[in-house]
Amino acid sequence: MRTTISVIKADIGSLAGHHVVHPDTMAAASKVLAEAKAQGILIDYYITHVGDDLQLIMTHTRGELDPKVHETAWNAFKKAAEVARDLGLYAAGQDLLSDSFSGNIRGLGPGVAEMEIEERVSEPIAIFMADKTEPGAFNLPLYKMFADPFNTPGLVIDPTMHNGFKFEVLDVYEGEAVTLTAPQELYDLLALIGTPARYVIRRIYRNDDNLLAAVVAIERLNLIAGKYVGKDDPVTIVRLQHGLPALGEALEAFSFPHLVPGWMRGSHYGPLMPVSQRDARATRFDGPPRLVGLGFNVKNGKLVGPSDLFDDPAFDEARRLANVIADYMRRHGPFMPHRLEPTEMEYTTLPLIQEKLRPRFKKEADMYKTKESIYTKGKSSGETHD
């Protein structure tokens, strides 16, 4: 049986600002998914949240981009947004960029990660969900999982992993993708994914047999809407074990809280902090950017689990370091490198301020003419200027 795992997320409104999903909105979404399960559209589902993002984890046999499944998710988000409006929650329906469903949820605002797989005898997976950042935030940890032997010793000692993996990389500005093979094209791969705001890992396949190993939600909300409407808050699905990274190797990739763009107003770099489900809420400076990991086994489409993967003292040091980095970055205030580079700030509200100031700018030559005119006028009247 080929099983499809679909993880679809959206910010449909949150409590006390961009903070946390309200349980009533999750309950509204759950009713829609329960009905879809009763109708045979879904096999199973699990609903959770990370910060202000409602996360729908669904299994079915309908394949990727299925209209019925996507419509189910859309209806769940719409119902949840209605509850959010009734409760007066902040930014109700923020990620729903259209009033109507048109057969596919892509391009309508919500983030989508889907993979259709042939289940192995045991099918362990990890689903990583981030808040207050964008899809490129997964570039470094996915590189570590599938290409860095210092993180994943299975690349060296496991014969079923030794030939490496293929990375499908998307240029989110041009809408073009390239597939690069590791380890053979490792430097070419790094040349691209080291610029995560533009080049995003979309899918990873095992070289030996093209087995799909990981998939990332690559939606960039600002590129869809043409303006800043919130960060993309991506998700990734990673298959584990049996010729793929072990669970511990996948988790090890998040032991270093690397800097990611997003955080306050989507305009600042901050550390990606791995947290438990209970700590998955935005607080300090609307962050720091949070990451939750849930572990499942999939059997005949049924979700067994989850396990809260970062609810463990082994990640206390990563969280402590994230707080130290957050302190350091915050001391820069509105200055780079805490604030994003100009190309990324184009999609925030900063251009409105710049546009207001535009009429007050003068060309350098005109400024000199003005100074010369003042000097000449003063000289003719007998005034002196230092």
User: Is 228 among the residues known to form the active site?
Assistant: yes
Binding residues for beta-D-fructose 1,6-bisphosphate: 18, 90, 103-104, 132, 241-242, 265, 286, 347
Give the per-residue pLDDT at 225: 47
Checking if the pLDDT of 358 tops 70, the result is: yes
Q: Specify binding-site residues for dihydroxyacetone phosphate.
A: 18, 132, 265, 286
Rounded CA separation 81/109 (Å): 13
In a domain, 385, yes or no: no
| Overall average pLDDT of the 1-29 stretch | 95
- Domain assignment of residue 294, given as a range: 119-356
Does residue 75 belong to any structural domain of this protein? Answer: yes
Domain boundary among 87, 103, 118: 118
Q: For residue range 175-209, list pLDDT tens digits in order.
A: 899 999 999 999 999 999 999 999 999 999 999 99
Same domain assignment for residues 132 and 76:
no
Pick the catalytic residue: 9, 11, 78, 143? 11
Q: Please indicate, yes or no, whether the overall pTM of this predicted structure exceeds 0.85.
A: yes
Contact yes or no for 70/77 (Cβ under 8 A)? no
Two structure tokens written together for 83: 């509850």
Answer yes or no: are the C-beta atoms of 154 and 248 closer than 8 Å. no
Tell me the per-residue pLDDT of 70-88, one tens digit each, with 9 for 90 and over: 999 999 999 999 999 999 9
More confident: 3 or 383:
3
Same domain, residue pair 142 and 281: yes
124-160 pLDDT, tens digit per residue, is 999 999 999 999 999 999 999 999 999 999 999 999 9
Give which of 110, 137, 256 is closest to 200, Cα–Cα: 137
The reply to whether 172 and 201 lie within a common domain is yes
Helices 139-147, 186-193: axis angle to 10 degrees equals: 170
Structural domain includes residue 236: yes
DSSP-derived 3-state class of residue 195: coil
Residue 366 is assigned to a structural domain of this protein:
no
> Residue 231 catalytic?
yes
**pLDDT digit string (tens) for 215-264?**
999 876 545 545 544 557 899 999 999 999 999 999 999 999 999 999 99
99 and 130 co-located in one domain: no
The answer for 167, left when phi > 0, alpha when psi is -120 to 50, beta otherwise, is beta
- Asked if residue 24 belongs to a domain, the reply is yes
Average pLDDT on 371-383 reads 64
- CATH number (domain holding residue 1): 3.30.300
Active site residue 209: no
In total, how many domains does the chain have? 2
Same domain for 152 and 249, yes or no, is yes
